[in-house]
Chain A
Amino acid sequence: MKVFLGQRAWLVQRASALTLLLLVALGAALLLLGPALNHERWHALATSAHGAVIIVLFFAALSLHGWVGARDIVLDYVPSTAARLSVLSIVAAILFAVVIRVALTMAAHLSPVS
């Protein structure tokens, strides 16, 4: 059984990059269209349901993209299997923690739907 797959990681990297591009474009459109940007507007966008979904999706896609990139670096620069698994475990734990932290933060600050 192959431990490190090729095609799936490549597809994840492309799909996450496209998702990031779309979310950045969507976020930019949301911010640039409408009234002037100030703290209240930033806050309202970040605590709205669609703003929170965009932010969580953005960090999830960023983490997936970062995971494939980090995995590529480890495959090239860390030849020992034990060291590879250690480094990859740490990277995976950090990226997973980032996404969970962002999701929890967004959920905690979500404005109640009126």
Chain B
Amino acid sequence: MHISIYRYDPDSGENPRMQDYAIELAPGDRKLLDVLMRLKDVDDSLSFRRSCREGVCGSDGMNINGRNGLACMTSLSALKEPVVLHPLPGFPVIRDLVVDMTQFFAHYHAIKPYLIDDGTPPEREHLQTPEQRERLDGLYECILCACCSAFCPSYWWNPDKFIGPAGLLQAYRFIADSRDTGTVERLAFLDDVYRLYRCRTIMNCTEVCPKGLSPSHAIERIRLELVRASS
């Protein structure tokens, strides 16, 4: 298999370059991450993040043949050669395929990704009806891999001000939660020309999400909640 990988070492002072690799597939190779881990054995200067190897941790997000995805969930059989790997677009590169996610997680923290409950805490637990619980489906599964935000032109352009699809999906996850009492404060924070309304409904986020979620749908729900709250 032929793979072309973006290489950048800030300590070397050299410009980024593409490095070509040719590697024989082993019988157990199924996913792109399998090949990358074997390449790492050959060239230990190659840097990329990975952890769970099964699409749960969201560490190995990268641009694979022009499309963001998780290396651990990308089947080798579906890839056209040469496989071209870049770091997540729009994110500052630390080294090779490793990007700086500081800004991304700052947005995540800004939306207060936890339940706000101003009432008296229940003796045992917050109860939800099956319908209330169902509203969280398609929201809680986000693993914050950043594939969506890094595929969003609006986020590329305003990464410091636009919350981005991942952060907004997480924001709606708590707005939609029947146990959360902070909806007014959450909506007031999001009602901003940059934080929410830089979204132009391009829908790259929904198209590229490796977990099959729809951040654009969540963004639309936030807008409708804002209309409802202001009427």
Contacts and interface: CB of A to CB of B under 8 A. Distances in A.
Contact of A10 (B157, B158, B194, B197): B197
Given A2-B192, A7-B230, A76 B197 contact: no
B193 A76 contact: no
B196 A76 contact: no
Interface string A57-77: 000000000000000100110
B158 A4 contact: no
A93 B192 CA distance: 25
Contacts of A10: 197, 223
Nearest to B192: A6
A5 interface: yes
A76 B227 contact: no
Contacts of A5: 193
A6 B196 contact: yes
Q: Is the interface of B mostly helix, strand, loop or mixed?
A: loop
B25 to A, nearest CB: 44
A4 B193 CA distance: 6
Interface residues on A, range: 10 to 19
Interface string B76-108: 000000000000000000000000000000000
B197 A6 contact: yes
Contact of A6 (B157, B158, B191, B200): B191
Interface of A: 2, 4-7, 9-11, 72, 75-76
17 contacts: A4-B193, A6-B191, A6-B192, A6-B193, A6-B194, A6-B196, A7-B191, A7-B197, A7-B230, A9-B197, A10-B197, A10-B223, A11-B227, A72-B200, A75-B198, A76-B157, A76-B198
Interface of B: 157-158, 191-198, 200, 223, 226-227, 230
